[in-house]
Amino acid sequence: MMSTGTHSEQSLTPGAQRILDVASELFYWRGINAVGVDTIAAESGVTKRTLYDRFGSKDNLVAAYLEARDRRWRETLTARLHDAPPDPVARVLVPFDVLPDWLAPSTRGCGFSNAFAELGDPDHPGRRIAVAEKTWLRALFRDLLTEAGAAGDDVETLATQLLSLHEGAIISYAVANEGSAAVAARAAANTLVAGALSGHPVDRSSSR
């Protein structure tokens, strides 16, 4: 699990958690740059001074929002991998399996990609978290492929292909209103992975 140096949810006071919860909803649904601390404070039922006392700055609050989202995403994937069958192809496809449930309440697309687009400063702590999330997912694909028996330079290429399919599914779901995007991306990923691991059968559950 990454550490960004911001507030962990476990260490927040109830008041600070309420601020973070409200800010997270506002940042995701309205946009980071469109939401000011006045709005967050008002909707949280606190003063701006309290908000700054708890988080120090809006930048830190943005980072806390993304860090919490990143933590939930990683924990979701980790839990699903723990329960996944030992079949190597099925394990590589787990990040696609979690997409339907993850996307259902997220019709504005990926919060990390949205934040990356809004935060132009490469040193912004929130932008670094967004970059780290995508880097982590690519590394997870690479590690799962390696565990499954893939080897050589093809592992890096295939990990990038899987990441691209995964991110493309999120965009298609949110922007093109393509409800079957996650299933279609999983089927394509299944074909790629089964081809790379030619000794293993195609996971037929990709057609579900």
Instruction: Report residue 107 as tokens.
Output: 């019709």
pLDDT for 162 = 98
Cα(54)–Cα(49) distance, integer angstroms: 9
* 89 contact partners, CB below 8 Å, separation of at least 6: 148, 190, 193, 194, 197, 200, 201, 202, 203
Does position 104 have pLDDT exceeding 60, yes or no?
yes
CB half-sphere exposure, 198, CA atoms < 13 A: 1
Cα(82)–Cα(144) distance, integer angstroms: 13
In angstroms, the Cα distances linking 121 to 2, 68, 110, 124, 127 are 21, 21, 19, 5, 8
Cα(205)–Cα(183) distance, integer angstroms: 10
pLDDT for 152 = 78
Cβ-based neighbour number of residue 36 at 10 Å = 12
Does position 190 have pLDDT exceeding 70, yes or no?
yes
Q: What are the structural domains of the chain?
A: 10-56 (1.10.10.60), 59-207 (1.10.357.10)
The per-residue pLDDT for range 137-167, each reduced to its tens digit, is 999 999 999 999 988 778 999 999 999 999 9
